[in-house]
Amino acid sequence: MAAKTVMEVLAQTVRRYPNKTALRYKEGGSWHDLTWKDYEQTVRRFARGMCALGLPDKGFVTILSANCKEWVFADIASIFAGTVPAGIYPTSSPDQCAYIIGHCGATCVVVEDVKQLEKILEIRDKLPQLKFVVMIKGSSQQKDVYSWNEVLRRASTFSEEDLEKRIKRQTPQDLATLVYTSGTTANPKAVMLSHDNLVFTAEAIVNQLKIGKDDAFLSYLPLSHIAEQMTTIHGPLNAGYDVAFAESLEKLPQNLQEIRPTVFLGVPRVWEKIQAKMVEKGAQASPLKKKIAKWAKSVGLRCGDDHEKQNALAYKVAKKLVYSKVRTALGLDRCRIQVTSAAPIGKETLEFFISLGIPLYEIFGMSECSGPATISYPGQYKLGKCGKSFDGGETKVAEDGEVLMRGRHVFMGYLHNEEATNETIDEEGWLHSGDLGELDGEGYLSITGRKKNLIITAGGENVAPEMLENKLKTIPEVEQAVVVGDRKKYLTALLTLNPEAVTMVGQHQTPINAKTVQELAQCEKFHKYIYGRIQELNGSVARVQTIKNFRILPQTFSEESGELTPTMKVKRNVVLKKFVNEIEAMY
């Protein structure tokens, strides 16, 4: 693959499909379309407007906003203008915003609205390098704060010729974007990705998955995350497919039915929530429907992703009676590729969906390798495995079990942190992921845990908690599970409850009467039920992996209360520190 800049890729796509839909957004209850020609024109105008306001020919721009089309325009326009964009999660605190803006030395911040602007105004005196702020929605009388439309109007005072000079001085090896890690421990690190990192990876994935201009994608995850940037920005730039922006996470089910994407990315928590809803709904079905569903699920699990088996009569009947109806209800009736990524997913959840004719294709990767390292897709799929390296990338497992990657997708290093860069990329160019895994004889990767999460019991046994946590989350009433036991005699677990748990237990054979999740967490009868379910799960693992005790927490984990990252991964260190009393009580 020839090395190209992001600007060259966009120009190429606009030449191919000038009048084809590029982006879709909902406004006033209706969906509106923007073409690739519209896309390029808006990007160039916004870039010129920022330059007119004093954006330097080098430097950084930060974007503090929820997922929307303007996020994408601001990101690509910053690159066009010769600066480097960096996303900030919209749930970040003012201090977290100050760290990122100060760390990269951003001269401009693009904010979503007044709420996000207030964070910047609170910390502005700590950021002497910040020249101006742009608001996507609304306006402000504050000094050096400009509305979106004002920036577009300023474009007329900065020429296309001068913008072109900034574009042409950039090379494929130049820094194109920063992705700040979630910061599950200390301050986040700034992952530096070049034009070639982004373009090469997007092209490789699009080619391998056979994604083209006629595909459709629904964007809803934070665009500060590399997985969403790859699927919402760089994948479309390469293949020309259209992207629709979900109105919100709450409206995702409705938007899925409206857009009916052909490719859909869900983090494990999204798939787990869909699973829980479907299990709850299935429990209310008639005896006949339950019997048909049980038969269809056994057929789906047996046939899996095997196209020869799927042509069998039983699969076709099950598809007509069950699978097609499930897909239509979810808005996935056109979907060819359902992806799960960004965190480990339980085998039980994978089996649940494949039993309904919906194989979830696992992708393994990290920000430091531009997103994906190994991929699964139709024809390259094994249940519970993360696929194989894509063309142009290498993956291997070190002697200590750590997964390593090498190729053009591996990042340039961490900004202002040479020590961490040298710890992460070795002398032979291998990126050390920090994940533990295994490669089978055909090159399929399975992830077994995180090196830093590995529990070493008092008896010297090594236990990866992720597998056990995924098993615990198959209990319908359980939302999150954190397994504990480092330097302890046995393993225990902290559990949080599904918000629907009260409804679920009311439908048990012997109903449990509780009106709130808090009441349920204190209910002795419910504790006995959970204990019984854990005992069942203990029968499927080695003795050293059995859970001996548990505590049900009365509150759920959330990003706001600090236990979850923006991509819904549990911050294990935060949980262990926050609930130290509950943990000690179990021992």
pLDDT in tens, 334-390: 999 999 998 788 888 999 999 999 999 999 999 999 999 999 999 899 999 999 999
- Helix (H), strand (E) at residue 586: none
Burial of 310 by CB count in 10 Å (0-12 exposed, 13-18 middle, 19+ buried)? middle
Q: Does domain 359-452 have CATH number 2.30.38.10?
A: yes
- What pLDDT does residue 94 have? 94
Q: Region 463-486: what's the mean pLDDT?
A: 91
Window from 25-34, 65-74, 379-388, 448-457 with minimum mean pLDDT: 448-457
256 — phi, psi (to 5°)?
-60, -45
Confidence band, pLDDT 50/70/90 cuts, at residue 316: very high
- Tell me: pLDDT of 405 over 60: yes
- Tell me: pLDDT of 277 over 90: no
Q: Where in the chain is the domain with CATH 3.30.300.30?
A: 454-585
- What pLDDT does residue 565 have? 85
- Tell me: pLDDT of 185 over 70: no
Q: What integer best gives the mean pLDDT of the chain?
A: 94
* 3-state SS, residue 241: coil
Indicate the residue type of 567: T
Tell me the pLDDT tens digit for each residue of 498-520: 888 888 887 787 788 888 889 99
- Tell me: pLDDT of 186 over 70: no
The conformational region for residue 549 under phi > 0 = left, psi -120 to 50 = alpha, else beta, is beta
H, E, C per residue of 276-345: HHHHHHHHCCCHHHHHHHHHHHHHHHHHCCCHHHHCCHHHHHHHHHHHHHHHHHHCCCCCCEEEECCCCC
Tell me the pLDDT tens digit for each residue of 109-122: 999 999 999 999 99
- Tell me: pLDDT of 49 over 80: yes
The more confident residue out of 24 and 457 is: 24
Q: Where in the chain is the domain with CATH 2.30.38.10?
A: 359-452
Confidence band, pLDDT 50/70/90 cuts, at residue 183: low
Tokens 């020590």 -> residue: 419
Q: Where in the chain is the domain with CATH 3.40.50.980?
A: 6-259
Confidence band, pLDDT 50/70/90 cuts, at residue 437: very high
Tell me the pLDDT tens digit for each residue of 205-225: 999 999 999 999 999 999 999
* CATH number listed for the domain at residues 6-259: 3.40.50.980
Confidence band, pLDDT 50/70/90 cuts, at residue 306: confident
Tokens encoding 251: 């409206």
CATH number of this structure's domain 454-585, picked from the four choices 3.30.70.20, 3.40.50.700, 3.30.300.30, 3.40.250.10 = 3.30.300.30
- Tell me: pLDDT of 61 over 60: yes
Determine if the pTM surpasses 0.75: yes
Q: How many degrees, rounded to 5, is the angle at CA 575 between CA 570 and CA 578?
A: 150
Q: Which of 99, 24, 32, 31 is nearest to 67 (CA)?
A: 24
Q: Region 81-106: what's the mean pLDDT?
A: 95
416 in Cβ contact with 105 (< 8 Å): no
Distance CA 318, CA 247 (A): 34
